[in-house]
Amino acid sequence: MSFTKNSWIDLHAHSTASDGGLSPTEVIERAANRGVRVMALTDHDTISGLEEAQAAAKKIGVLLINGIEISTAIDNRPLHVVGLNVDPSSASLHSALSQLADLRLERAMAIGRRLEKLGFADAYAGASQEAHSPRPGRAHFARWLIGKSHFKDMSEVFERLLGRGKPAYVATKWPQLEEVVTCIRNAGGMAVLAHPLRYKLTASWLRRIAQQFKEMGGTGLEVSVARQSHQETDMAANVARRSGLHGSVASDFHSIGQYAADLGGFCSLPSDIDPVWTQLPGEIDGCKIAELK
């Protein structure tokens, strides 16, 4: 397995349309500067950044894959699923996203109330301002708390307040995995199980979930993910081999400097893994991306 600092393809990144720090245009510009030619913008539960990103991508000469990262759950365990090549005008996608928007609003208000009780007044208003949205996510609450000098960094806020099981954590009833896979497929897209090593699942649980995901119509699994150890990449590759899922690549970029993950910065896929982009349409410089290694 070789280490590439600048992969030509990155299929997972965020912008200010959700909890990222760069605008969709800035994400595309940064991708191009780092040698990324094919980029998927995958904001959490929203496609609102895609129009701007497409305009920038056309101007700059990057191929933008319309993407999304949807919050879901199986057996009450939260999971993230990336949708690649979704049709932004899909009615079923729009109705799923409006339900998710309601859930995110409820969750944000509930987190705000918890923080309020813990002595952090006006947390909801502050996080909403961070997000430029009435539906701030946990990262926005964290940034607001850090800005108020209550905490030094993201990991400390999650460790002490916002992480699963911590005092300001709010359990959310995310849509079921199967519903989300079906919704992505109905929108003409492919479903990819995001960052499989980040759920703290045992290897056997992970294999079982990947198998179920494949049976539900899932296409891929993120095998090469930024900040992952070689050992973790090997584990993810094994899960992909066993379940017959295609391998995907992900920086999960949020903002410059955050988590030291940058666009296109991850290990290349192990050579025997069938890349998920063999299933994607489009070309760059006259070459079909399906045929690129």
- In the complex, which residues of this chain contact Mn ion (CB under 5 A)? 19, 69, 80, 194, 252
Residue 44 CB, nearest distance to Mn ion (Å)?
6
Which is closer to Mn ion, CB of 20 or CB of 270?
20
Which is closer to Mn ion, CB of 52 or CB of 69?
69
Contact in structure between 249 and 221 (CB atoms under 8 Å): no
With CB atoms as reference, the residue minimizing the distance to Mn ion is 80
Residue 46 CB, nearest distance to Mn ion (Å)?
12
Which is closer to Mn ion, CB of 68 or CB of 280?
68
- At residue 126, what are phi and psi to the nearest 5 degrees? -65, -45
Tell me the sheet residues that pair with 284: 287
Residue 14 CB, nearest distance to Mn ion (Å)?
6
Six token digits for residue 221: 């699994």
Which is closer to Mn ion, CB of 68 or CB of 269?
68
- At residue 275, what are phi and psi to the nearest 5 degrees? -65, 145
Residue 145 CB, nearest distance to Mn ion (Å)?
16
Which is closer to Mn ion, CB of 15 or CB of 243?
15
Q: Which regions of 212-256 does DSSP assign to beta strands (E)?
A: 220-225, 246-250
Query: DSSP labels for 34-48?
Result: TT--EEEE--BT--T
Buried b (16+ CB within 10 A) or exposed e, 49-72: bbebbbebbeeeebbbbbbbbbbb
Residue 254 CB, nearest distance to Mn ion (Å)?
6
Closest of 220, 169, 161 to residue 195, by C-alpha: 220
